[in-house]
């Protein structure tokens, strides 16, 4: 009996020991899995950095051999430096004529276009005729009072430009797609109509990436736009031509659209201000490609782009139309009463470039300025979901009806043989850019709508929205890099395809975000940050943009080259406000 009892006890203890041992192994494996995953991510990121360095060397060599750094002529007409609001005030008071203003910008575009290739089509003659009518109306004895014009026609007689995707009646609306080279807009987009109603005069349309779905503005129809600070570098996309023409003083203000950063990245790369509005505020009507489902419509937002931050608010008031009441644009904002939060990077997302030290330093200067001048201490936070920015954005971009980028690339006919298109590209006979074709392939292997992974990522997106809502409330602002690097060399985005994640993550939350320049880096390229607010709190981000414009100088004119030496032209925001 005792022996049997002893055997049972030993057997039971042995079983218990084995169970404990197995449990310990299981738990150690669980602990090792994240470590292994982190090690794998680190190895992939190191390999990606090596590829980036090698590719940048190759692209730099090609740029120096094939693309000399051309410098546009200096700005000699002071009209070109004034804000749109200042020009409008001078026109109303008849200190200057609309015709003079329009002529000044026409002459400037003619100077810069051969160098920068930012414009795709102009309406110079029609714009001049409209300017003359404006001047004639102001000279007539029955002209409305200045007070009435200020309220009803805040941009009377001031020219503006817009990206090629946004329709202007009688002008081509190609979106950079060769198949649409003869497509003409039958009517103004709603945003254009509202600006016209405010007295502004459409002057030209500007270059975009093919179908507005890449962050370099290059297509097989109009070619590649070049950065005014160094023509070997990109202008961003898809509103890249717009960012370029504004930075080069070819237009006082313009309209862009943003589904993954298409306003903020070009603004960042070209050293200007750009605002992605809260979802549903500015109408997307009249844009091509147009969102064909509600989810995509909420990701896309039209908004203002300009050199002077003080133009952003009056522009948004016009563009918002009847929805302006959703915003608090007339409220005075006390910077010292805003709660500030910030992150220096995304936490180490896979296959995304690290944030350059000069951009982090720029963000630090802003944080230090807020504390020194406004006695506001910004809080550093860690939004863990930002490490999945690309995944979350791609999930939100997946088409419910299966009509993805391949359908768009076929000009919405559905007839696209991707392998035949690749064959045409390799034989220099194709009508599509390489990145557009690659995007179709990536999409075909990507996250499918309704799958378990898609549902999970959509839920994580909703959780992120709630996290930001709790953090920002109606008096909070979040400071974040607009992009991890300054403007890359032409074609370099091909090896940094996911760097747009810094802007794309904001789109899935539908929040307002303003790109603010913070000067130039050591290479003479613009850098800056984006200022993000709570839903419909656009007035907060615009107020911060104005404050940063005053504190850090805002737009800096592109450099001049004299006798082979680069000369940086200083500016002061007060001079053109």
| Catalytic residue list | 163, 238, 262
> Rounded to 5 degrees, what angle do the CA atoms 495, 485, 540 make?
130
N-terminal to C-terminal alpha carbon distance within the chain: 101
**Coil, strand, or helix at residue 425?**
helix
Q: CB neighbours of 450 closer than 8 A, spacing ≥ 6?
A: 400
Beta bridge partners of 201: 159
Token pair 């200190």 in the structure block, residue? 95
CB 502 within 8 Å of CB 480: yes
CA dist 224 → 61, 127, 162, 281, 524 (Å): 18, 26, 17, 31, 21
What does the DSSP assignment read for 518-561? EEE-TTS-EEEEEEEESTT-HHHHHHHHHHHHHHH-S--PPPEE
In whole angstroms, what is the distance from residue 412 CA to residue 449 CA? Answer: 19
Closest residue by Cα to residue 476 from 276, 338, 366: 338
Alpha helices (H) in 375-491, listed in sequence order: 389-397, 405-409, 418-426, 434-444, 452-472
Closest residue by Cα to residue 90 from 157, 143, 166, 141: 157
Query: In 3-state terms, the chain is what percent helix, strand and coil (to 5)?
Result: 50, 15, 40
Name the packing angle between helices 418-426 and 434-444 (round to 10°). Answer: 150
> Rounded to 5 degrees, what angle do the CA atoms 465, 470, 474 make?
100
Q: Per the structure block, which two tokens stand in for 326?
A: 């959703």
**Coil, strand, or helix at residue 71?**
coil
Q: CB neighbours of 386 closer than 8 A, spacing ≥ 6?
A: 343, 346, 347, 349, 505
What does the DSSP assignment read for 242-295? HHHHHHTTS-SEEEEEESSSTTHHHHHHHT-EEEEPPTTSS--TTBSSPP-SHH
Token pair 């717009």 in the structure block, residue? 242
Can you point out the beta strands (E) in 28-67?
Answer: none
Handedness of CA 255, 259, 264, 266 (dihedral sign): negative
Closest residue by Cα to residue 234 from 63, 75, 81: 63
């Amino acid at each position: 009996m005792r022996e049997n009892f002893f055997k049972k006890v030993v057997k039971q203890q042995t079983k218990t020991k084995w169970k404990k041992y197995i449990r310990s192994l299981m738990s150690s494996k669980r602990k090792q899995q994240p470590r292994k995953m982190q090690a794998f991510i680190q190895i992939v990121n190191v390999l990606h950095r090596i590829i980036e360095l090698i590719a940048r060397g190759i692209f730099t060599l090609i740029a120096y051999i094939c693309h000399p750094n051309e410098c546009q002529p200096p700005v000699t007409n002071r009209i070109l430096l004034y804000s749109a609001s200042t020009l409008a005030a001078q026109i109303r008071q008849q200190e200057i004529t609309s015709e003079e203003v329009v002529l000044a910008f026409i002459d400037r575009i003619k100077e810069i276009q051969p160098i920068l290739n930012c414009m795709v089509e102009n309406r110079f003659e029609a714009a001049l005729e409209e300017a003359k009518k404006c001047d004639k109306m102001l000279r007539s004895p029955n002209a409305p009072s200045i007070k009435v014009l200020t309220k009803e026609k805040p941009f009377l007689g001031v020219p503006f430009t817009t990206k090629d995707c946004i329709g202007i009646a009688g002008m081509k609306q190609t979106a950079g797609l060769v198949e649409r080279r003869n497509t003409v807009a039958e009517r103004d987009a709603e945003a254009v109509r509202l600006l016209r109603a405010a007295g502004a005069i459409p002057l030209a349309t500007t270059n975009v990436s093919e179908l507005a779905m890449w962050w370099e503005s290059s297509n097989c129809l109009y070619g590649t736009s070049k950065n005014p600070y160094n023509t070997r570098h990109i202008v961003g996309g898809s509103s890249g031509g717009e960012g370029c023409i504004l930075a080069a003083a070819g237009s006082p203000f313009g309209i862009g659209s943003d589904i993954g950063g298409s306003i903020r990245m070009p603004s960042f790369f070209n050293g200007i201000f750009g605002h992605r509005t809260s979802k549903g505020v500015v109408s997307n009507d009249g844009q091509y490609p147009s969102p064909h489902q509600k989810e995509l419509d909420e990701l896309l937002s039209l908004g203002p782009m300009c050199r002077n931050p003080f133009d952003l608010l009056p522009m948004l008031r016009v563009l918002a139309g009847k929805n302006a009441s959703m915003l608090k644009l007339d409220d005075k904002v006390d910077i010292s009463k805003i709660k500030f939060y910030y992150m220096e990077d995304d936490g180490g997302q896979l296959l995304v470039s690290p944030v350059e030290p000069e951009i982090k330093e720029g963000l630090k200067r802003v944080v230090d300025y807020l504390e020194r001048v406004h006695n506001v201490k910004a809080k550093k936070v860690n939004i863990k979901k930002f490490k999945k920015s690309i995944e979350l954005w791609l999930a939100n971009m997946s088409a419910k009806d299966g009509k993805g980028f391949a359908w768009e690339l076929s000009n919405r006919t559905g007839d696209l043989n991707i392998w035949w298109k690749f064959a045409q590209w390799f034989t220099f006979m194709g009508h599509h850019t390489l990145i557009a074709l690659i995007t179709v392939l990536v999409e075909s292997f990507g996250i499918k709508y309704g799958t378990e992974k898609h549902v999970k990522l959509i839920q994580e997106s909703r959780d992120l929205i709630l996290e930001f809502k709790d953090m920002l409330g109606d008096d909070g602002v979040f400071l974040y890099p607009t992009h991890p690097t300054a403007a890359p060399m032409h074609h370099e985005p091909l090896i940094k395809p996911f760097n747009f994640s810094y802007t794309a993550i904001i789109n899935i939350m539908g929040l307002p975000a303003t790109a603010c320049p913070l000067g130039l880096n050591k290479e003479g390229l613009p850098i800056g940050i984006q200022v993000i607010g709570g839903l419909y709190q656009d007035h907060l981000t615009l107020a911060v943009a104005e404050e940063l414009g005053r504190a850090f100088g805002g737009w800096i004119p592109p450099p001049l080259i004299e006798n082979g030496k680069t000369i940086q032209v200083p500016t002061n925001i007060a001079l053109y406000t």
